[in-house]
């Protein structure tokens, strides 16, 4: 290729690569695969190597270039970088409106612009001649640090502004100098992937995405920043390009080539602001980034400016935040709980603290490995976290706050409930109580047996069950079916009617499906799904009871560990006696009806996202249908699997939210093979 055609080709390649950058990072769309885009970049790189005179600093190949620095240069911000005042309640928003209205001579109804508050760190970007000239951190608001080299590696930051859509006058202005502000952040997906990589390498996991985002921007070596795959969301344009409102600002930011908020809304009243705040509050856990609140700004820029600044914050904006889902507290004790399968779980007993609107006094520590990893000691000050309705977790120890009197936790060698010895099975992190008639274990098993997804016995909640155990009426599930009204009536709070109702409910529950029955047994590693697969495979409990280890392991979804657990359960005489005892007392286990076809995905609902390497979407869908499954377009709580290819969209988030198992292409193909 001669110089002239190379120049042409380079120009086309850059335009196309930039267009895809915009599609991907601003519009969240993907027209071509990563591999295809890489191939375009590769061709550009080769041409630039051959004709170095064609290289320009804004070429997409020039993102990672500079050498590691010794230190960051200081940068003076022409317009100070302010911060926002936080509010947490609707009343405080109203008080804010009242306050600012008083400062405005013509007090008419104000319009507001509501947008997401991104949980990252603020950046100022200066473009000269339409090309990224300097990127700086906030610092103290007046003086920040020059992090241009690092910011160049962020693909969501255009190296060159998109000026095509502007009028000739604005374009001329924009070519002079433009400053853009926004937030650097890390997506949840990237954070998870990065932590998986850390884990594989046996390195320490990152605790929180904001800290890594901040740490990555302040790296002296830009290749490290590049490897952290950061994102950027723009929210302000201090340069005057004719914008009258904050909504205009956002429209301009998008036009210039930035992502500028996905959920922005102009609100005419504070009621609308409140509705927006509630709506985002519900949706935000499904976003692919962390947002800790909304920012509400007086939409009219002239009014916003008139309101001025107080302290370091503009009067015309507030951050309306969501209650923190993390809090710090003290570990007062670590105690061990015995679960249904005999597992000993260490639980932190905490000085009660408010997190996301509820009081938390316990947090699970999972197992001894987790305690060692965090190095939690009794007396430590810790950070706890609550995500949705999940049990709170201890995420971090503030070791600097130790007084020296903290005590290390040691796993007891005797069960705290029955005093039997405790053991660890090979290859497992958990400790177990070795006594199969341990009170705690039996009680937890009973709770499981009567629970919703098992026998579903109405009116037999944890309190009543506790009462029945305390009165020595019920120890094992079989005992439930021996209960009479006469047994119950003498008990406290048991009137004649309630005794009758409970006995009646137990009687009604005697007819049970095979899947529920298997689930109710509480076999280790056997959840609802596996119980269903077993029922579909064996149809009757008699066949399940005589199945060999190989029979179990042949069932899709049943791996080595689950198969062994099943086999050993049905080898145990006591368990056989339990099943016989239940049947003797009139429990009827309904035969599972045979399915017409026995594909590996029989009756399963699957969703596909992203690009698969070995087959097209349509081919994959066809294979699912052949295996007896259904293909859905959207993920819901009812979806059985999400198949994830390259560049999955928001469906992956949805799947995580609904706890839908995620299959890689390899997992998916293996599952099909089991047909």
Q: Which stretch binds ligand IVH (CB under 6 A): 19-27, 62-70, 313-321, 638-646?
A: 313-321
Distances (CA, A) of 342 to 308, 423, 461, 634: 64, 10, 21, 39
Q: Which stretch binds ligand IVH (CB under 6 A): 244-252, 314-322, 408-416, 519-527?
A: 314-322
Query: Would you tell me how many other CB atoms lie within 10 Å of the CB of residue 648?
Result: 18
Closer CB to ligand IVH, residue 87 or residue 241? 87
Does 122 sit near ligand IVH (CB under 6 A)?
yes
Among 30, 56, 83, 326, binds ligand IVH (CB under 6 A): 83
- Across the chain, how many H-helices and E-strands are there? 26, 28
Among 111, 115, 300, 653, binds ligand IVH (CB under 6 A): 115
Closer CB to ligand IVH, residue 115 or residue 444? 115
- Looking only at the bridges linking them, the beta strands covering 121-128 and 74-76 are unpaired
Closer CB to ligand IVH, residue 122 or residue 465? 122
Closer CB to ligand IVH, residue 322 or residue 439? 322
Q: Which stretch binds ligand IVH (CB under 6 A): 116-124, 423-431, 500-508, 629-637?
A: 116-124
Q: Which stretch binds ligand IVH (CB under 6 A): 169-177, 217-225, 311-319, 536-544?
A: 311-319
CB 264 → ligand IVH: shortest distance, Å?
A: 9
Cα 410 to chain centroid distance, Å, stands at: 32
Does 118 sit near ligand IVH (CB under 6 A)?
yes
Closer CB to ligand IVH, residue 254 or residue 334? 254
Closer CB to ligand IVH, residue 76 or residue 507? 76
Report the site for ligand IVH in 536-575 (rule: CB under 6 A).
none
**Contact characters 260-299, ligand IVH, x per CB under 6 A:** -----------------------------------x----
Among 117, 152, 516, 651, binds ligand IVH (CB under 6 A): 117
Angle of the 560-571 helix axis to the 573-584 helix axis, nearest 10: 70
Task: Give CA torsion, residues 40, 41, 46, 50, to 10 deg.
Answer: 110
547's torsion region: left (phi>0), alpha (psi -120 to 50) or beta? beta
CB 95 → ligand IVH: shortest distance, Å?
A: 18
CB 106 → ligand IVH: shortest distance, Å?
A: 24
- Burial of 308 from C-beta contacts in 10 A (0-12 / 13-18 / 19+): exposed
Is 117 assigned a catalytic role?
yes
| Secondary structure of 176-238 as H, E, C letters | HEEEEEEEEECCHHHHHHHHHHHHHCCCCCCCCHHHHHHHHHCCCCHHHHHHCCCEEEEEECC
CB 291 → ligand IVH: shortest distance, Å?
A: 8
Among 17, 44, 84, 655, binds ligand IVH (CB under 6 A): 84
CB 159 → ligand IVH: shortest distance, Å?
A: 22
Closer CB to ligand IVH, residue 325 or residue 646? 325
Distances (CA, A) of 455 to 201, 247, 446: 45, 56, 10
First to last CA, the chain: 53
CB 395 → ligand IVH: shortest distance, Å?
A: 22
CB 356 → ligand IVH: shortest distance, Å?
A: 20
User: Rounded distance, CA 147 to CA 156, Å?
Assistant: 15
CB 26 → ligand IVH: shortest distance, Å?
A: 15
User: Rounded distance, CA 17 to CA 41, Å?
Assistant: 7
Look at residues 83, 119, 375, 72 and name the one whose alpha carbon lies nearest to residue 221.
72
Closer CB to ligand IVH, residue 155 or residue 183? 183
Task: Determine the 3-state secondary structure of 24 from DSSP.
Answer: helix
Look at residues 290, 317, 321 and name the one whose alpha carbon lies nearest to residue 119.
290
User: Rounded distance, CA 296 to CA 280, Å?
Assistant: 13
Among 235, 432, 455, 517, binds ligand IVH (CB under 6 A): 235
How many residues sit in the footprint of ligand IVH (CB under 6 A)?
A: 15
Encode 125-155: b = buried (16+ Cβ within 10 Å), e = exposed.
bbbeebebebbbbbbeeeebbbbbbbbbbbb
Residues 6+ apart with CB under 8 A from 472: none
| 124: β partners | 136, 181
Does 214 sit near ligand IVH (CB under 6 A)?
no
Q: Which entry of 117, 321, 386, 604 is annotated as an active-site residue?
A: 117
Closer CB to ligand IVH, residue 80 or residue 416? 80
Q: Which stretch binds ligand IVH (CB under 6 A): 79-87, 345-353, 413-421, 611-619?
A: 79-87
Does 77 sit near ligand IVH (CB under 6 A)?
no
CB 157 → ligand IVH: shortest distance, Å?
A: 15
Does 183 sit near ligand IVH (CB under 6 A)?
yes
Closer CB to ligand IVH, residue 263 or residue 500? 263
Report the site for ligand IVH in 338-377 (rule: CB under 6 A).
none
Encode 265-275: b = buried (16+ Cβ within 10 Å), e = exposed.
bebeebeebbe
Q: Which stretch binds ligand IVH (CB under 6 A): 80-88, 212-220, 413-421, 490-498?
A: 80-88
Q: Strands, DSSP E only, in 342-392?
A: 343-355, 358-364, 377-378, 381-385
Q: Which residue is nearest to ligand IVH, using beta carbons?
A: 122
Closer CB to ligand IVH, residue 191 or residue 668? 191
Cα 158 to chain centroid distance, Å, stands at: 28
The helix (H) or strand (E) run that includes residue 92 is helix 90-103
Interface contacts to ligand IVH, rule CB under 6 A: 82-84, 115-118, 122, 183, 235-236, 295, 314, 317, 319
Which residues carry out catalysis? 117
């Amino acid at each position: 290729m001669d110089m002239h055609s190379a120049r042409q080709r380079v120009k086309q390649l850059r335009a196309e690569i930039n267009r895809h950058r915009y599609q991907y990072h601003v519009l969240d769309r993907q027209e071509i695969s990563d591999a295809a885009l890489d191939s375009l970049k590769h061709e550009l790189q080769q041409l630039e190597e051959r004709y170095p005179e064609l290289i320009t600093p804004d070429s997409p190949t020039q993102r990672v270039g500079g050498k590691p620095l010794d230190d960051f240069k200081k940068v003076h911000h022409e317009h100070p970088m302010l911060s926002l005042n936080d509010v947490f309640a609707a009343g405080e928003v109203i008080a804010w409106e009242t306050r600012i209205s008083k400062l405005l001579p013509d007090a008419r109804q104000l319009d507001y612009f509501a947008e997401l508050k991104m949980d990252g760190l603020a950046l100022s970007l200066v473009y000269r001649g339409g090309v990224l000239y300097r990127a700086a951190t906030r610092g103290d608001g007046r003086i920040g640090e020059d992090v241009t080299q690092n910011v160049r590696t962020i693909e969501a930051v255009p190296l060159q502004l998109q000026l095509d859509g502007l009028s000739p006058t604005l374009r001329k202005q924009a070519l002079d100098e433009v400053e853009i502000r926004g937030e650097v952040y890390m997506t949840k997906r990237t954070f998870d992937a990065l932590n998986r990589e850390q884990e594989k390498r046996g390195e320490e996991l990152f605790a929180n995405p904001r800290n890594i985002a901040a740490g990555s921007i302040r790296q002296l070596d830009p290749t490290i920043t590049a490897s952290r795959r950061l994102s950027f969301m723009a929210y302000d344009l201090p340069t005057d390009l004719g914008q009258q409102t904050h909504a205009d600002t956002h429209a301009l930011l998008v036009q210039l080539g930035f992502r500028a908020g996905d959920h922005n809304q102009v609100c005419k009243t504070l009621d609308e602001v409140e509705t927006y705040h509630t709506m985002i509050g519900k949706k935000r856990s499904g976003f692919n980034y962390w947002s800790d609140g909304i920012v509400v700004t007086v939409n009219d820029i002239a009014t916003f400016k008139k309101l001025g600044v107080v302290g370091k914050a503009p009067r015309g904006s507030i951050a309306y935040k969501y209650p923190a889902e993390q809090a710090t507290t003290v570990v007062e004790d670590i105690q061990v709980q015995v679960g249904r399968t005999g597992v000993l779980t260490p639980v932190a007993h905490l000085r009660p603290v408010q997190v996301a609107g509820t009081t938390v006094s316990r947090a699970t520590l999972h197992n001894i490995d987790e305690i060692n990893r965090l190095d939690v000691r009794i007396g430590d000050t810790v950070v706890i976290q609550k995500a949705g309705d999940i049990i709170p977790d201890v995420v971090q120890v503030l070791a600097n706050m130790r007084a020296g009197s903290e005590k290390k936790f040691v796993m007891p060698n005797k069960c705290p409930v029955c005093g039997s010895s405790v053991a660890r099975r090979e290859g497992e992190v958990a400790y177990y109580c070795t006594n199969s008639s341990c009170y705690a274990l039996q009680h937890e098993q009973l709770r499981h047996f009567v629970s919703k997804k098992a026998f579903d016995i109405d009116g037999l909640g944890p309190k009543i069950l506790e009462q029945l155990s305390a009165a020595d009426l019920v120890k094992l599930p079989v005992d439930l079916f021996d209960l009479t009204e006469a047994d119950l009536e003498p008990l406290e709070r048991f009137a004649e009617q309630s005794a009758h109702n409970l006995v009646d409910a137990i009687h009604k529950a005697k007819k049970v499906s095979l899947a529920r029955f298997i689930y109710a047994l509480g076999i280790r590693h056997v959840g609802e799904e596996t119980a269903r697969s077993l029922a579909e495979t064996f149809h009757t409990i008699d066949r399940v009871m005589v199945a060999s280890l190989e029979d179990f392991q042949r069932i899709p979804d049943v791996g080595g560990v689950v198969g062994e657990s099943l086999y050993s359960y049905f080898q145990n005489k006591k368990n056989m006696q339990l099943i016989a005892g239940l049947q003797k007392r009139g429990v009827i286990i309904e035969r599972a009806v045979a399915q017409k076809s026995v594909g590996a995905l029989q009756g399963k609902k699957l969703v596909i996202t992203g690009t698969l390497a070995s087959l097209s979407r349509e081919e994959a869908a066809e294979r699912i249908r052949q295996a007896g499954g259904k293909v859905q377009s959207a993920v819901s709580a009812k979806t059985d699997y999400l198949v994830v290819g390259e560049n999955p969209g928001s469906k992956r988030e949805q799947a995580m939210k609904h706890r839908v198992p995620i299959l890689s292409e390899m997992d998916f193909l293996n599952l099909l093979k089991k047909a």
